[in-house]
Amino acid sequence: MKSICYADLLDLWNKGKKNGALSRLGYMKRGLFSAALEYCKMMGKIAHPKLIEVVEGIAELIRNTVSQKIFRRGIDRASAMIKNTRLMKIFPSLIKWIKSDTFVFWLGTDLLFQRSSWIWFRRE
């Protein structure tokens, strides 16, 4: 049986305060997470499966950082490239590139795919 303890929730709370994720949460989710934190502080571990599921969903929102979003988007684009057999025939070294974390991260940054977001600097 799965349970959540006070130390885990407190670590997430502090991490969310540092990266600004708590301020992006809605007041209901933030209140529920705060109530779960106080409950764990007073009563011990949370063992109810439905409450654990809800708190873990909120915890996932807190853990979700910008670099994780970029990396996830890069993984999606890399898997789309692997499925494209024509592209794999033209660029056989692409598989080696996709195995690199830095290339996958670069794919997720959207610089190549959304030219409107490029920033051009002019020397004056």
Dump pLDDT digits (tens) for 48-88: 999 999 999 999 989 887 778 888 888 988 898 889 888 88
pLDDT at 12: 92
Would the pTM of this model clear 0.85, i.e. be above it? no
Higher pLDDT, 52 or 117: 52
* Dihedral sign computed on CA atoms, order 6, 55, 26, 39: negative
**CB < 8 Å & 24+ apart, contacts of 24-33:** 24/61, 25/58, 25/61, 25/62, 29/58, 29/61, 32/58, 33/9, 33/58, 33/59, 33/62
Question: Across all residues in the chain, what is the average pLDDT?
Answer: 84
pLDDT at 7: 93
Q: How many CA atoms lie within 13 A of 20 on its CB side?
A: 2
Higher pLDDT, 111 or 4: 4
Over range 22-49, report the average pLDDT: 92
How far is the C-alpha of 90 from the C-alpha of 82, rounded, in Å? 12
pLDDT at 92: 85
| Unique residue bearing structure tokens 């830095």 | 102
Counting residues of the chain whose pLDDT is more than 90, the rounded percentage is 30
13: confidence class by pLDDT, cuts 50, 70, 90: very high
124: confidence class by pLDDT, cuts 50, 70, 90: very low
